[in-house]
Chain A
């Protein structure tokens, strides 16, 4: 089960609204490499992860990704708070505004709604961990792209924190993949995990 902690993982105190930047950062909420997809990916993959140490790691990282969902949403909320209709139109936010006002809804920067097709639960431990490594790199790269567009340090600081967490998760998933691979027999040259065929 889960328990809520009433604080952010990293402080967000943005003073200047910036609806144009908000539309870009929105991708890390509901985009192809965003935080909703990350948390759903890891929290869903746990059930078929045969190594319980790695299932525990997926739980811990999946929970952190939920904190990142909250962080990204806070950034978007503070960047769009109290906008006037004129500011909304000037920034090109009117198409989002007509459906969601200034609420926070998971979509990619280009407007595509969040979908579970953004991530996979293959059910094979090595396949899933390989996806997780790629996911962390993709998310890190998206944060790098976002950082090039940010001039306000109040926004850059939490985004830099989120970017650094992708690096740490990539490292931990790399170790997890090695742990699972080491459990295979030495004749398994192709490093697949026959978890479906040798169920206990």
Chain B
């Protein structure tokens, strides 16, 4: 199975998603109180774009991390994918 042989790439991808998502979320909080900071807004736009791309790639290769990326035509794996608290996000 693709998932079995490709665990290293899966872990690498989920780490990249974690890093990007953290940057986006922390910038979100900063912009809540500094809405006119153009530098922060540019960072936000850049990292959010990269995050969405990685999340789409993850959903395509493995399983969707959010319902937004669920493809109803493929096998339903939303609730059969690895659980986050059981090591699903190394």
Contact = CB atoms under 8 A, between A and B. Distances in A.
Contacts of A13: 87, 90
Main secondary structure of the interface of A (DSSP, over half): helix
B66 interface: yes
Interface string A1-29: 00111111111110000000000000000
Interface string B55-90: 000000001111110000000001001001101111
A172 interface: yes
B29 interface: yes
Contacts of B64: 6
Contacts of B85: 8, 12, 70, 73-74, 77-78
B30 to A, nearest CB: 8
A5 B65 contact: yes
Contacts of B65: 5-7
A57 B84 contact: no
A57 B29 contact: yes
Contacts of A179: 33
Main secondary structure of the interface of B (DSSP, over half): helix
Contacts of B89: 7-8, 11
A10 B22 CA distance: 9
B23 interface: no
A8 B84 contact: yes
A11 B34 CA distance: 29
Contacts of B17: 7
A197 to B, nearest CB: 27
Interface string A164-200: 0000110010011001000000000000000000000
Contacts of A3: 66-68
Nearest to B25: A64
B28 interface: yes
A156 B29 CA distance: 25
Interface of B: 14-15, 17-18, 21-22, 25-26, 28-30, 32-35, 63-68, 78, 81, 84-85, 87-90
Interface of A: 3-13, 53, 56-57, 60-61, 64, 70, 73-74, 77-78, 168-169, 172, 175-176, 179
28 contacts: A3-B66, A4-B66, A4-B67, A5-B66, A6-B63, A6-B66, A7-B14, A8-B18, A8-B84, A8-B85, A8-B89, A9-B22, A11-B89, A11-B90, A13-B90, A57-B29, A57-B33, A60-B25, A61-B29, A64-B25, A70-B85, A78-B85, A168-B26, A169-B29, A175-B34, A176-B32, A176-B33, A179-B33
